[in-house]
Amino acid sequence: MLKILSGLALAAGLAAGATAAAAPADPAPVIAAERAFAARAGEVGVARSFLGFMADDAIVFAPDPTSARAVYGARPPAKTPKEGGTLLAWWPNWAGIARSGDLGFTTGPAEVNGKRAAIYFTVWRRQPDGAWRWVYDGGADGDASTAPGPGARVAALPGGDPAPLDPALAFGQVQAAEVALAARATTDVPAAYTSVLAPDAHMQGSPLAPAATPAAVARELAARPVAIDFAALGGGASRAGDLAWTYGDARWAGGRGHYVRIWQRRAGVWALVFDQILAVTPG
């Protein structure tokens, strides 16, 4: 644990200047999209709401990465919450957006019929017509009991590097960072993460509450397998080249799952600001 905390403290020291210098980026558009998405689910049910707010190329883990439209489009019509159907409710506690205003995310607790059941995470992309559509949506079975309620202020990720970067070049750099993380994680997961984690990074995946502080991140890392084989599958970068999302496979002794991440460029260096691992239940 001390080793993990020391690594996080070092990462904090290296990145603190860049974080302090970055002006806040207002994630209000993605927060509004998330709230509208959740409100619609309360009116027409999960499948119709998800179909109405997803991008054509959106993915979900079911249990492996697949077309979200194929998954939700194949579901038979279900009762709406007003008709006695399941009420799925969720709201954002933390959100971020690219400086170019075209890529963002939110995360927070999710409830099923009034009982907190998971931690959701959504990646949003602004479409050519200006509408926001989600490109990834999923949830981890973490402890959501202490998460702020729907009326609480939504914390915001600070703005990334203001210097523009071609999105293809940016995503290539992120892919290189993922390769380096994956190589180190095959023998030392805590060291692999602490070498790239931002001081304000959030992590999810274990039964613990979502980690949003260095101490909580250290506990989350300690709860994970010491060795994980990661294999990148996809994602994308913002037009400004300051924010990127990735997803891929994760395998460890006795189990497997998938990861979703958010990377942010800070003073020319890519830092990992969000990481979620979702285990696949055997069977």
pLDDT tens digit sequence for 218-231: 999 999 999 999 99
The average confidence (pLDDT) of the chain is 91
Is 17's pLDDT higher than 60?
Answer: no
The pTM of the full predicted model, rounded to 2 decimals, is 0.90
Is 6's pLDDT higher than 90?
Answer: no
8 Å CB contact between 216 and 275: no
pLDDT tens digit sequence for 152-206: 999 999 999 999 999 999 999 999 999 999 999 999 999 999 999 999 999 999 9
Q: How far apart are CA 158 and CA 98, in angstroms?
A: 10
The closest alpha carbon to 44, from 76, 72, 91, 77, belongs to: 77
Question: What are the structure tokens assigned to 252, written together?
Answer: 């460890």
The domain ranges of the chain are: 2-23+159-279, 28-156
Q: How far apart are CA 117 and CA 88, in angstroms?
A: 10
pLDDT tens digit sequence for 104-148: 999 999 999 999 989 999 999 999 999 999 999 998 888 999 999
Q: DSSP for 54-108?
A: EEEEEEEESSSEEEHHHHHHTSPP---GGGT---EEE--SEEEE-TTSSEEEEEE
Handedness of CA 152, 203, 208, 231 (dihedral sign): positive
Whether 2-23+159-279 shares its CATH topology with 28-156 is answered yes
The closest alpha carbon to 40, from 77, 107, 75, 88, belongs to: 88
Q: Which fold has domain 28-156?
A: Nuclear Transport Factor 2; Chain: A, (3.10.450)
2-23+159-279 CATH choice from 3.40.50.920, 3.10.450.50, 3.30.360.10, 3.10.20.30: 3.10.450.50
